[in-house]
Amino acid sequence: MTALTARRADAAPVKRLAERIVAAQGPEFGAMEEWLSRHGGPRAEEGRHRGAVSMATDALSGGRDALVSEMANDVVAQQSAGIGPVERLRAPR
């Protein structure tokens, strides 16, 4: 959702917060991807798409803010669209 902030947020403090989150989580994502790779876990792409959909769905179920709901709906649509093609590519033929 932080990626959407650049396009959606008007407030500079919100944009700066999103930039700090991305900067902080980048190394964490890298470390987790490496660990999953070594231990036979799901591919990062698969986990990110499903994780993003899950988080956005949670935001929709408990949120009252219209902007958050709009962003969460965008995340669900975009990430869900990415899951199907990846699953089809990975399916046995």
Residue whose C-alpha is closest to residue 72's, from 46, 53, 47, 49: 53
| pTM, entire model | 0.48
Domain residue spans of the chain? 2-90
pLDDT per residue of the chain (93 residues) written in tens, 0 to 9: 677 777 788 888 888 888 888 787 777 777 767 776 776 665 555 666 778 888 889 889 987 888 888 888 988 888 887 777 767 766 676
What's the pLDDT at 42? Answer: 58
Task: Specify the DSSP element, H or E, that contains 11.
Answer: none
User: CA-to-CA distance for 87 and 50, rounded, in angstroms?
Assistant: 12
Nearest to 57 by CA among 71, 45, 46: 71
Residue 21 is predicted with a pLDDT of 80
